[in-house]
Amino acid sequence: MSFRPTTRATALCAAITVGALSPLAAQAKTSVGLLLPYSGVFAALGNEIEAGFTVAMEAAGATDQFDIIKEDTEVKPPVGLAKARKLVLEDEVDVIVGVVSSGVLGAMRDFVHDAEVPLLVANAGNDHATGEQCSPYITRVSFSNAQINRPMGDWLAGSGVKTAYIMAADYAAGHQTMAAFKESFTAAGGEIVGEEYTPFRKTKDFGPYLTKAKASGAEAVYVFYAGGEAISFVKQYDSFGLKDQMGLYSGGFLTSPLYVNAEGPAAEGVITALHYMPTLDTPENKAFVDAYTAKYGKGPSEFAVQGYDAAHALLSSQADGETRGAELSAALSRYSANSPRGPISIDPATNNIVQNIYIYETVAGENGLTQRLIDTVENVQDAPNGCVL
């Protein structure tokens, strides 16, 4: 796997010029545009997805089959779209892997659909991309925003909590996660007593918002924050003295194993839902954790497993002989596996992943913070929500 710019045309030209190459050597590599945030509030997430992708490729001895071209979305929708256009029109990549922000995914959806270039989503949960704006060219191996937060509404109401205050980053993922939580929480008898959306990528001081949350008198606070914002939020929630008064709940990106130890004791006792826990006791997860830890000297997070599964989906499509275009898209959407996160498959009605959702508490462990499983909701699948493939 070489991290350098190339084009399919260049590779073919080179193969023709040296004429004497074996048929296998003459075959062009599959070129992959790795479109991730390498700067900004989600930079650590982008690096972690790439790390998981690399571990899988190396373990499969497949690095020579791919040319990788990396581009930075900067977590900005117009930049993400411009970089997607560059990858497809200039670099002529066969497939784009990545995208962390739902906002970036929303901005580039029409472009990849019209260009008929496969997009393998390795994070961004934007519900529309596998709902009303689904596309045969978009397959998601990560999660959808609703898939993670819907089970939490049921669970929280079932645990006896009657009132919740909502806070989230003011962009697509914040609104979609809260909509899914609200729907299931209220359907199960809970009441939302207030909500606030904080400027995305810009909020450093959550104090004024936390004052309002406290004044709401809710039993629980339910939020969506990820990356750098999650670290600031969890620390400020605790230092504001709220943790002991109002339980804090969220999708698990709030206390991701990627940065939970940067949050420290402030994260203890927070209950969240996610599609992966590094503590899952399965042979697949053990092998993944061992391989990841051996390479990087630290354990993996959900972002790493998303990169890992994206690489495996690509490898399995290659094994089927599909390397580009509609055939590659179709092969990606047939993918299923016993992943480190549990059994996964792609729903043919939406191209979204079907997977278990784990509800867990962040607790102190021997080597820092860890995850204590509370409940597993098996094979969570979204309704088509207007998707026609």
| Residue choice 37, 40, 77, 125 for contact with ligand PHB (CB under 6 A) | 125
Give the per-residue SS3 of 172-232. Answer: HHHHHHHHHHHHHHHHCCCEEEEEEEECCCCCCCCHHHHHHHHHHCCCEEEEECCHHHHHH
Which residues lie closer than 8 Å to 68 by C-beta, 6 or more apart?
Answer: 1, 2, 3, 31, 32, 34
Smallest gap from Cβ 72 to ligand PHB, in A, equals 15
Q: Is 9 exposed, middle or buried (0-12, 13-18, 19+ CB in 10 A)?
A: exposed
Q: Are 72 and 83 in contact (CB under 8 A)?
A: yes
Task: Specify the residue, 28 or 129, whose C-beta has the smaller distance to ligand PHB.
Answer: 129
Helix axes 43-59, 283-296, angle to 10 degrees: 110
Smallest gap from Cβ 30 to ligand PHB, in A, equals 26
Q: Which of helix, strand or coil describes residue 126?
A: coil
- 62: which 2 tokens? 């497949």
Smallest gap from Cβ 173 to ligand PHB, in A, equals 3
- 234: which 2 tokens? 């969890």
The residue type at 97: V
Binding status of residue 124 toward ligand PHB by CB under 6 A: yes
Q: With contacts defined by CB under 6 A, name the span among 20-28, 95-103, 159-167, 259-267 that binds ligand PHB.
A: 95-103
Residue 111, CA distances (Å) to 38, 324, 362 in order: 22, 17, 40
Binding status of residue 102 toward ligand PHB by CB under 6 A: yes
Select from 388, 382, 385 the least CA-distant residue to 151.
Answer: 382
Q: With contacts defined by CB under 6 A, name the span among 99-107, 108-116, 187-195, 378-386 that binds ligand PHB.
A: 99-107
Q: With contacts defined by CB under 6 A, name the span among 94-102, 110-118, 128-136, 183-191 that binds ligand PHB.
A: 94-102
Calpha distance 39→94 (Å, rounded)? 25
Select from 189, 187, 242 the least CA-distant residue to 218.
Answer: 242
Task: Specify the residue, 53 or 253, whose C-beta has the smaller distance to ligand PHB.
Answer: 253
Smallest gap from Cβ 187 to ligand PHB, in A, equals 23
Size of interface with ligand PHB, in residues (CB under 6 A): 11
| Other residues' Cβ atoms within 10 Å of the Cβ of residue 351 | 25
Binding status of residue 37 toward ligand PHB by CB under 6 A: no
Smallest gap from Cβ 346 to ligand PHB, in A, equals 18
Calpha distance 306→68 (Å, rounded)? 17
Task: Specify the residue, 42 or 233, whose C-beta has the smaller distance to ligand PHB.
Answer: 42
DSSP 339: E
Smallest gap from Cβ 126 to ligand PHB, in A, equals 6
Q: Are strands 30-36 and 66-72 parallel, antiparallel or unpaired?
A: parallel
Binding status of residue 101 toward ligand PHB by CB under 6 A: yes
Smallest gap from Cβ 306 to ligand PHB, in A, equals 10
Q: With contacts defined by CB under 6 A, name the span among 2-10, 119-127, 184-192, 310-318 that binds ligand PHB.
A: 119-127
Smallest gap from Cβ 16 to ligand PHB, in A, equals 42
Residue with tokens 């979305």: 73
Which residues lie closer than 8 Å to 256 by C-beta, 6 or more apart?
Answer: 226, 230, 274, 301, 302, 303
Smallest gap from Cβ 193 to ligand PHB, in A, equals 25
| Residue choice 121, 156, 221, 226 for contact with ligand PHB (CB under 6 A) | 226
Q: Are 229 and 204 in contact (CB under 8 A)?
A: no
| Residue choice 32, 93, 100, 161 for contact with ligand PHB (CB under 6 A) | 100
Binding flags for ligand PHB, 134-173, as an x/- string (CB under 6 A)? ---------------------------------------x
Binding flags for ligand PHB, 311-340, as an x/- string (CB under 6 A)? ------------------------------
Chain residues in the site for ligand PHB (CB under 6 A): 42, 45, 100-102, 124-126, 173, 226, 253
